[in-house]
Structure 1
Amino acid sequence: MLLTDFDYDLPEELIAQTPAEKRDHSRLMVLNRQEQSIGHEHFFNIKSLLKPGDTLVFNNTRVIPARLIGHRAETGGKVEVFLLRRLNGNRWETLVKPGKKARIGDCIKFGDELTCTIKEHTDFGGRVVEFFYKGIWEEILDRLGQTPLPPYIHEKLKDKERYQTVYAKENGSAAAPTAGLHFTKELLQELKDRGVNLEFITLHVGLGTFRPVNEKNIEDHVMHTEYFHIDEQTAQRITAAKKRGSRIIAVGTTSIRTLESAAFEDGTLPAKSGETGIFIYPGYKFKIVDGIITNFHLPKSTLIMLISAFAGREFVLKAYNIAVQERYRFFSFGDAMLIL
């Protein structure tokens, strides 16, 4: 399939620059795959669209202050180090800007309490760096690091917690699983009271989720791997729900990729940890996911390809064109879509 098959026209003013005043007051487009119908709701009404026994699966990763601004020890030149994932100890996989000047052995200083040395190149143009510091890493990072907002967001975020889900728990992401940003603690409780099961898995969002596709033929694109974890009890409950015929509804593309990476062909979900580089595009046969809650994604991205694999490319692009006509808000702080 061609990259251009997943393009659409999006006016720049529809890219949401700030989150909705209340998390669950965003709009919600509702897609029914069987009926090929498209409806319009508000997110707080999602409880009326879900059934008792449904299982929502959330990604409980938490965004770290992954953007560090420092200076070269030798020249004083400004350098940005963007943390992607921890490899072991104090070694991290990163993106360094400007990259051309980031040579092996270079030392970068972030004030008096933190430095790093570039150790090696990565196969995607990044760098492996080793950090040196005295004290507690998390506290130092919280002081010196910045919350990394996507490049299409130009407004400064007043409350950095708005780029975290209310259930964020496991530190490690370079970006938020944005479909979950619409949920409030009150809405989660209302869903539980209605008999909807809430389950939590982890995928630390890294380069694989937001790396652009540059190949004309999408099958030639290679995903970068990201770490995921599903614990034993969660896996057992989701498997039991699937076997009794309950719908497994993934909240966000990262939850989809985690579930589909781990699941067996019969829909059984084992406890599992590891790296996934799964690339889902049309033609993929879903093993466990029956429904999706997601945001509106970038043109020609792996994310819109994933959604197209689930709901059909033509149906998804039709929905996106309607969303543009209806002035929905797009991307990370934008509106949501429920696909059943």
Structure 2
Amino acid sequence: MRFVHDTLPQRVRFGSGEAAEHLAAEIAELGAARVMVIASGSSRELAERITAGLPVVHRHDEVVMHVPVEVARRARAAAAAHDVDVLVAVGGGSATGLAKAVALDAPSDAPLPIIAVPTTYAGSEATPVWGMTEAGTKTTGTERRVLPRTVVYDAALTLSLSVELSVASGLNALAHCVDSMWAPRTDPINQALSAEGVRALRDGLPQVAAEPESLPGREQALYGAYLSAVAFASAGSGLHHKICHVLGGMFNLPHAQTHAVVLPHVLAFNAPAAPDAAARLAAAFDARSANEGLALLRLRLDAPRTLRELGMPHEGVGAAAEAVVAAAPAGNPRPITVDEIAALLDAAWEGKEPR
């Protein structure tokens, strides 16, 4: 066994009902005096509640999916105008993504630390990956300075997340696990984290769907989402994420739902060519096969099934397939061609059962 594995420096504070206390402790430890809170309008009340008492100099609520470049520019200007010394992102992946775009622009001799307080299972909080969209193209990159310094997990903050969005976001986290099994830099540690992430999400998401007001299921889902993101941060972006980034940028599709629809098709595409990874996933699902395990979980969760319902035009399949092949990672378990990706996207658009 030979591999090189990087463990990223990050603190995690996990405790239901303890977000405000944990945030205050982190701000005090940083010695920060000028806090910029990034939270969308829908998260404003929650963000105000958990940041009450902190030295907040600016609250920024222009949070947009896929982080359009012009939105990032305005947030950067606001951070500079208020001379902020720490960013607190409260919400889903879009809020964290905007904080990363601001931190990316900070001078290297005066970095802007991020404290992320996730309210979904997006996982962006545990990765150094940033992404911005311009003219229908989503560009992503990896930069250590955008990795949040601390993640504050509080399952109580996810109670307002509807079952429908919880399912989509949780399947997005599951996609991190699956992709990490065969991504460009995968290793045995990533695969172990991914397998445990699958197990936690397999157990937690059905509990969230059945008992939305109960914390144990949401705690398991948050725990699984964190493991999945840590694995993904190390293993890199595989075919699944390249497909979803292309679709999100080209058609402005909702991020989590797109991952939820595409995942079974990519798993069916790659699993036969990666039997060891597929076997580990099957064991994590406690199923006869990885495909069956995912299908049964999606059935229990009534997961989204078609790209058509998310707003993707069918005439965009060909152009998307070409863009995916151009961006596809090296070392995918099986060769990738435009025709095969077009067929995969067509099946996902129709909502056909993956083969």
- Length-normalised TM-score, structure 2: 0.26
Question: Is the helix fraction higher in 1 or 2?
Answer: 2
Q: Which has the higher contact order (CA 8 A, sep 6+)?
A: 1
Question: Is the strand fraction higher in 1 or 2?
Answer: 1
- Length-normalised TM-score, structure 1: 0.27
